[in-house]
Structure 1
């Protein structure tokens, strides 16, 4: 079950749950959001702010040229080098496994590889707002039924 909601300052949150009791799950998610200033949204209220995609991340120092060549040939959408030197390969969800396997076959070992909901834009939080937003995210992630939490919030 997917729930959509907002944290403080309009930061979008997607909460994916696996539950045997939908009523309990929605009550717990709603409580976690409202306790620290967020609220539960309706279906479709925030999902458009995210892109469903595969994300394969390599540690700084990995061969960007080799990763780019293998990934794009295998069907990746994009290869992005972050400020810290890490390299992210972005794939369509359906091509994720093929791209991951092609990279592994080329001897490239990823630090992280999963299909995610990647935010289209981010909201940066610092100070007291960062603490409040982190409390919402921690409370959601601590719920037994919650499998994944995705957000547009970046905590500094």
Structure 2
């Protein structure tokens, strides 16, 4: 019988990210554009833009593409007028789902998101119905076997809020304020400590364990939402069983 392994879920989340590489450039370009529009084109004073550019670099995006997206967002060139929208709802078993989008057509986006919920056993809710269950923070996950002492030292020296070790599986999670994320990420990199996942996320305060048909429905909902062009990120408080246990 499958178990609720956090490490297996982290690996699955990483696998989903890797599987989205085909659409990754489009999503990153939109993120860069909105970040530049919101906070300006100076990466030193705009941590969101800095993070988006780091993602672009990691995805081997050409510098010209990055620069055009920055210019589009900061008003230097004409282009699509992207804006951010967050949708909230419930999946099978009553789990909470947050959907962050960047769109140039709100009517199209809400219709696609609502359809994804309805066809996969969920319901699109009102603004604020589940967002209070999540905390926006920087999050790093390190694989079992990574030195806890080294991670703890770097984390404490660079403004992290918490270091959480899973005693059973050996994974290490580091949490920080979003504005500290870039500096902490650089510190880990300098110390040759490579997290399997690192991002600014909406982290659930508590998780809800689901299994069987409910877990399958929630996973299909997440996959459907993530396949939509306007969807940037999907967050849920569902803890689903790993398939390899």
Q: What TM-score, normalized to structure 1?
A: 0.95
Q: Which has the higher helix share?
A: 2
Any idea what the Cα deviations from partners look like across 1:26-64, whole Å, max 9, x if unmatched?
000001101122111111111110010001111211110
Task: Give structure 1 stretches of 5+ with no counterpart.
Answer: none
Q: Secondary structure at the match of 1:18?
A: strand
Moved over 3 A (4+): none
Counterparts of 1:5-154 in structure 2, within 5 Å, are: 5-82=89-166, 83-154=168-239
The answer as to whether partners of 2:159 and 2:176 remain within 8 angstroms in 1 is yes
Instruction: Tell which deviates more after alignment, 105-114 or 20-29.
Output: 105-114
* TM-score when normalising by structure 2: 0.61
Residue 113 of structure 1: SS of its match in structure 2?
strand
More strand by share: 1
Give CA-to-partner distance per residue, 1:81-122, whole Å, 9 cap, x none: 123212111111111111111222222222221000111111
Unaligned runs of 5+ in 2: 1-84
Q: CA RMSD in A?
A: 1.1
| Structure with bigger RCO (C-alpha 8 Å, 6+ apart) | 1
Number of aligned positions between the proteins: 156
